[in-house]
Homo-oligomer: A and B are copies of this chain.
Amino acid sequence: PTPTTYSLDSEIDGLAIVKLPGAKGGRGYFIASSLQEIVERLRALVNRGLVSDVSKVIIQEYLVGVTAYFHYFYSPVLERLEITGADIRYESDVDGLRRIPIEKLKEIGVEPTFTVVGNIPVVLRESLLPTVYSYGEKFVNKTKEVLPPGVVGPFCLEGVVDRDANIKIFEFSGRIVAGTNLYVNGSPYTYLYWDEPMSVGRRIAREIRLAVEKNRLSSVIT
C-alpha cells in the first residue's frame, strides 16, 4: 500500500504533502489541508520565481503516523529475503522544535524542515514483522518482473505506520542505505540469521563467496 497521489483538480482528504520540483534531503515540501491552500501557496511560489513548472509538483496524501525505514537483503543464492534492521531518521529542525515552548514557536513562525542529520536504531513490534516481510517480498517479486533479474542484495523500504498499525510505503532505496551504518557490528536481526557480526558490507562479500562456491556468480552480478 502506498499514499494516494492527488492532481491539482482533485479535492484532498485530510492533509496533503506537496513536493516542489527539486525537493531533496528534507527541503522543498509543505503540508496543506485543502486544495485551495495548495493553489494559493503554489501561486505565491510561482510569483516569487521559486517554482517555474507547476506540472512537476507532486501532491500526495500526508500519512499521519510514525516513519520507519526497513532494511532488507535479498539473496539470490539462498533464495531468501532477510530483514536486516530498521531505523528512524534524526532530522533538523523538526526533531529539535519540541525543545522550544509553543508560544515561542509561534512567534518565530518556523515551519519544520526534515534535513537528515543521523539515524537512530529501532526494533519493530513483532506483530509488524510479517507485514514488513511480505512488503519486502512483493518488492523483490515486482522488480524481478519489471526489471529482471530484479533486486540483488541490500534495499530499503521507507514507510509510515499509522495508529492502527497499518503500514504504507512512500519510498524505496535500491542500495545500501545510511541507516545500516548503525549495524556495522550486526543488528538484532542479523544475529538471528548469522550468529556472528554481519554488516551489509560483509553480507555482500558473503553472498559473493557463497555464489562462487556454488558456481552461481552470474546470479549476483548484472
Contact = CB atoms under 8 A, between A and B. Distances in A.
A165 B26 CA distance: 11
B120 A121 contact: yes
A46 interface: no
Interface residues of A, number: 68
Interface string A64-90: 111110000000000000000010101
Interface string A197-219: 10000000000000000000000
A99 B206 CA distance: 39
Contacts of A31: 100-101, 104
A106 interface: yes
A123 B118 contact: yes
Contacts of A171: none
Interface string A108-149: 101111111111111111101000000000000000000000
B115 A164 contact: yes
B66 A91 contact: yes
A110 B108 CA distance: 19
Contact of A183 (B66, B68, B118, B188): B188
Interface in A24-48: 27, 31-33
A14 B108 contact: yes
A158 interface: no
B108 A33 contact: yes
Nearest to A111: B101
Contacts of A86: 118
A64 B123 contact: no
Interface of A: 14-15, 27, 31-33, 62, 64-68, 86, 88, 90-102, 104-108, 110-126, 128, 160-165, 178, 181-186, 188-189, 191-192, 197
